[in-house]
Amino acid sequence: MSNTEKKIADTQGKYLLAVSQGQRLTDAEWQNCRIILTTERIALMADDKRQIALDEIDRIADRFDVNQQSAGVSEYVGFHVGEDVILVSASNHAEFETDFYRASLNGAVIRVQHPALKGGVVQNAEWTKGRLKVSDEALQVAMADGQAVTIDRADIGDLAVEDKDIGGEERAVIEVEHSEEGISVETHLAGDEFHATVLQVMLEESAEQNRADLDLSSTEKRVIMALHSGVSPFDIPNFVGIDVEKTEAIFDRLIELDVISVVRERTEVNLTTKGRRVAGERMGEQ
């Protein structure tokens, strides 16, 4: 281990070599192992020692069921490294995933545009450098211009990835919607291929957990869109064209569905993550 390499985690688990030199191994079996995670590699300590250099990981997948052995394990991480695919299942899956994100991203310097959108309106924010830090709850970005951006992983409403030209170089840009002081904002993140891959997987996982699958009426969607665009809850009846009693009934239903949250009892509400996601989907339909 080099002087700059630091141990992040040391736990028990198992691994399965699903693909070797491009060949799927349908007879592969799980091997019990000790898993050592550092800032540079994952070491799998079994009868044979296998190492995965973090910066050589091309892709990460939550499922790669090459046979019944892999399909029978509910939680693992699939690491695509060149022509190999290695599945790793730790004794505490969620803890290992967060440790892996920390090992891969903490201290990494990426390009950040914040806020790229605020309340659905495009801003004139410039791209600047930012340093990453991952915790169980959030992704934090310390920006070169002095801003500190916190993206709560339970507050991600939507996520998209687009290839864009940044300073004459085409990069994958991760567009993540979240909130600041109750207002929907969108932060854009762009890094090298490895950091972008890990960021995308981590944020997509959080966004998937927050996805709204709701059966809403057109009037309820109009109320959500009005709140999303900054209309005060007090002005919703006139803005949407419904009476106060109808508005109160809609607020009650949206609170029950966890689409809005009460800021002050019966007077003020904010969109939740689900609500902002519904608003984003509604905007895409228009």
The answer to whether residues 85 and 133 belong to one domain is no
Is pLDDT above 80 for 17? yes
Q: What is the mean pLDDT of residues 263-272?
A: 66
Structural domain total, the chain: 3
Q: What pLDDT, on the 0 to 100 scale, is given for residue 149?
A: 93
Radius of gyration (C-alpha) of the chain in whole angstroms: 22
Question: By residue range, what is the domain housing residue 225?
Answer: 218-285
Q: Which of 141, 174, 209 represents a domain boundary (last residue)?
A: 209
Q: What is the CATH number of the domain that holds 27?
A: 2.30.29.30
- Residues 197-231: pLDDT tens digits? 899 989 988 887 766 566 778 888 888 888 877 78
The answer to whether residues 133 and 226 belong to one domain is no
The answer to whether residues 45 and 81 belong to one domain is yes
- Residues 84-124: pLDDT tens digits? 999 999 999 989 999 999 999 999 999 999 999 988 888 88
Q: Is position 99 within any domain? A: no
What six digits make up the tokens of 108? 């990494």
Among 13-27, 188-202, 262-276, name the one with the lowest average pLDDT: 262-276
Q: Is position 144 within any domain? A: yes
As beta bridge partners, residue 17 has 86
- CB-based burial label for 37 (10 Å; 0-12, 13-18, 19+): buried
- Residues 24-48: pLDDT tens digits? 999 999 999 999 999 999 999 998 8
Q: What is the CATH number of the domain that holds 234?
A: 1.10.10.10
Q: What pLDDT, on the 0 to 100 scale, is given for residue 213?
A: 60
Integer Cα distance of 52 and 260 in angstroms: 44
Integer Cα distance of 178 and 159 in angstroms: 9
Q: Is position 85 within any domain? A: yes
- Number of neighbouring beta carbons within 10 Å of residue 266: 10
Q: What is the mean pLDDT of residues 16-20?
A: 94
What's this model's pTM, rounded to 2 decimal places?
0.72
The answer to whether residues 150 and 234 belong to one domain is no
Q: Is position 96 within any domain? A: no
- Residues 137-186: pLDDT tens digits? 899 999 998 889 999 988 888 889 999 888 888 888 999 999 888 788 99
Q: Which of 163, 190, 209 represents a domain boundary (last residue)?
A: 209
Q: Is position 49 within any domain? A: yes
